[in-house]
A and B are shown apart, each in its own frame.
Chain A
């Protein structure tokens, strides 16, 4: 893995930002602004409450409509044309928060847009109380250096954030995952987990499973058992937000592409369109290239250059067409490399074949749902079969079937208002959220 010592650059302020309000069909507090409204940086755009969103930049609201989240789910969104001279919202007074009690702190952070306990996309869901928090100080992908950079350069902020977490969640076990050799100011009561050099040692699902003493877990199941996963950057941003009295509006993103000799980490405004970052870094995507939000192992390919950087975006990668490997439906030769490399011991040769022929139940029986989506199986397959896609396909089909069953039961029990054909909107949001951690 490359060191975090890669370059960091500040970017010029964006010309436009796009803010996702909520997944289409999901409930959210009503918008307080409309096209033409002027907003300040950090101003709340919706009514207060769970799911409220904030402007990462000041300017005029120029568009309200539908857009796509990084993994493709439809979201209600708005765009702000950033003013040359942005006004900032009035900061919340946070001077006496150092001595405030837990309830005051909680209420105050909600005002600043922080809902750490909530599941993204389901702000109103009743979730069990948090009993352990795992802070990820490493990056899941080899070319991305965001979390490690935060650990190395914002150690004090991170420490402040950890202390805040201890206050917000008293009697909760705190874990910090670090790369070997990483130095962080010691915070009492935080247990360190050192993850080694290999790709899989930084997988967040496996780390959550380790802390929860199980073999394998989904982020949702972990959250429902009280295990919350947060990135180090989020925790540091929490502390920064408390210090400034304003909601979070920036994000570190590692950008990689052919015009850059080595990946570069940039500090971008939340909501900056990919196109603007590409322009500033001279990344020039042409026909046939692939532009990813994320890295080469887990990134989501984007078709829209106006897609924005979100709070979950750690990477922006341009893969030139010549470097792309076409994963196609070729026959499996049964060499077994996928089986040997799978960290959760799925018989990928079998599960992949079942998924290829849409035999979802058989694929589930053979463990397709255990997949942690590391991508190693497809990486080593000599036949270059789209194995990860097969596993995700099985998961998606299972979610749709579950949503259909729920909708049918609701339709039978209720007055038949729900259309059994449409999967419930929660499942779309859940699918989106399951791909990311805060």
Chain B
């Protein structure tokens, strides 16, 4: 007599929607592709080298550290690749190779693996790695110095640096259109506002990123910059200038929206975005770093669990009245 079958026993539900983590991150990669192509178009093969080196280093280090820490490999879920690309976007085209590797190392170890990989880290990994490099090698991250000798079709100084150094008159050479189309010195992909926005629109329509955070950030940044500009137009640039220069759009759609470090509840997301927008303008105006967006991200990351307490109350079991 045939033995009875060995049946699988597990808890309900016995069905699934079919969405996977790798699918979520694949869509983010697709959304970042236009900006990557735009970066290579503006900055040439140097940009391609930076991107490939960064992403490759991140993937290899992720796999290596996973093996060393005896952890199940997470390279295939796509989050390391996406964050590698985001880190590459923060670098400028002329980054020395050893600095790229260091940045990748900091991101993979301090940013991700030390905290348990995806879902466990408190600070946005690309932002953290970039901030560590910025604080440790400020000269190397100074784009104009690294890019001397490269023919550019636009002013060779970052727009925000021009404002801080030369005042309002110093930014007259920057047209809003150029800024939005990536004709500005800065990170590779972090400055191509139009292509980033297009990619982000795709993600928002498909429901893959939290649009409330982005919208709240951009609105708060615009409003705060607007208030400052209205208060003292001779010192503070117009709000659209603040919106399009530097990495504001990049931060809005791709750094602040990282799942692990962002709130999940809608009003919490709004508060989070507003906080980041406000901080960005404040740091840019009064802080020591021309583009405060990165530090605004890190500061809001620290506050995110507290902000995420802004959520509707649970519908707990009640004993009905007699």
A residues within 8 Å of B by Cβ?
A: 128, 212-218, 221-222, 224-227, 285-292, 294, 296-303, 305, 317, 319, 321, 324-325, 327, 330-337, 339-340, 343-347, 349, 366-367, 369-370, 373, 375, 378-380, 382-384, 386, 388-389, 392
Contact = CB atoms under 8 A, between A and B. Distances in A.
Interface stretch (B20-28, B103-111, B273-281): B20-28
A287 B20 CA distance: 26
19 contacts: A128-B322, A214-B320, A216-B315, A222-B320, A225-B322, A285-B7, A290-B10, A302-B9, A324-B14, A331-B118, A333-B119, A339-B265, A344-B314, A344-B315, A345-B313, A347-B314, A369-B317, A380-B17, A382-B20
B116 interface: yes
Interface string B181-225: 000000000000000000000000000001000000000000000
Nearest to B119: A331
B320 A213 contact: yes
B173 interface: no
Q: Is the interface of B mostly helix, strand, loop or mixed?
A: loop
A367 B316 contact: yes
Contact of A334 (B10, B119, B319): B119
Given A345-B313, A347-B311, A373-B12, A336 B320 contact: no
Contacts of B8: 288-290, 301, 321, 324
Given A227-B320, A382-B23, A333 B118 contact: yes
B19 interface: yes
B12 A375 contact: yes
Given A286-B5, A296-B15, A334-B264, A225 B21 contact: no
Contact of A370 (B20, B24, B116, B314): B314
Contacts of B260: 333-334
Contacts of B322: 128, 225-226
Contact of B264 (A221, A294, A349, A366): A349
Contact of B13 (A289, A349, A370, A388): A388
A224 B322 CA distance: 9
Interface in B272-322: 311-322
B319 A292 contact: no
Name, among B20, B118, B316, B320, the residue most crowded by chain A CB atoms within 10 Å (CB to CB).
Answer: B320
A67 B14 CA distance: 24
A112 B212 CA distance: 61
A128 B321 CA distance: 13
B10 A327 contact: yes
B320 A292 contact: no
A226 B5 CA distance: 44
A303 B10 CA distance: 10
B118 to A, nearest CB: 6
B96 interface: no
A127 to B, nearest CB: 13
B170 interface: no
Given A298-B12, A301-B14, A331-B117, A225 B5 contact: no
B6 interface: yes
B68 interface: no
Name, among B6, B8, B14, B265, the residue most crowded by chain A CB atoms within 10 Å (CB to CB).
Answer: B14
A346 B120 CA distance: 20
B135 interface: no
Given A331-B116, A334-B264, A369 B316 contact: yes
Interface size range on B against A: 35 or more
Contacts of A319: 14
A211 B23 CA distance: 42
Contacts of A286: 5
B319 A287 contact: no
B153 interface: no
Given A296-B14, A305-B7, 7 more contacts: A128-B322, A212-B320, A216-B316, A227-B320, A285-B5, A336-B265, A345-B315
A333 B259 contact: yes
A325 B15 contact: yes
A300 B15 contact: no
Nearest to A292: B14
Contacts of A212: 320
A379 B17 contact: yes
B66 to A, nearest CB: 13
Contact of A336 (B10, B19, B79, B264): B264
A299 B314 contact: no
Contacts of A392: 11
A36 to B, nearest CB: 25
Contact of A301 (B9, B313, B317): B9
Contacts of B10: 290, 301, 324, 327, 386
B14 A290 contact: yes
B13 A378 contact: yes
B231 interface: no
A317 B15 CA distance: 12
Given A225-B320, A303-B9, A382 B21 contact: yes
A286 B3 CA distance: 10
B19 A382 contact: yes
A217 B317 contact: yes
Contacts of A224: 319
B13 A379 contact: yes
A324 B14 CA distance: 7
A208 B273 CA distance: 40
A379 B312 CA distance: 22
Contacts of B264: 334-336, 339-340, 347, 349
B149 interface: no
A225 B6 CA distance: 43
B14 A382 contact: no
A217 to B, nearest CB: 6
Contact of A297 (B15, B19, B313): B15
Name, among B8, B117, B319, B322, the residue most crowded by chain A CB atoms within 10 Å (CB to CB).
Answer: B8
Contact of B16 (A222, A303, A367, A384): A384
A217 B318 contact: yes
B83 to A, nearest CB: 12
Nearest to B117: A331
A340 B79 CA distance: 22
A297 B12 CA distance: 6
Contact of B11 (A321, A339, A379, A389): A389
Name, among B21, B262, B317, B319, the residue most crowded by chain A CB atoms within 10 Å (CB to CB).
Answer: B317
Nearest to B20: A382
Given A299-B12, A382-B24, A345 B5 contact: no
Q: Which 3 A-B pairs have the closest CB atoms?
A: A336-B264, A367-B314, A375-B13
A334 B260 CA distance: 5
Contacts of B210: 336
A290 B20 CA distance: 22
A331 B13 contact: no
Contacts of B119: 331-334, 383
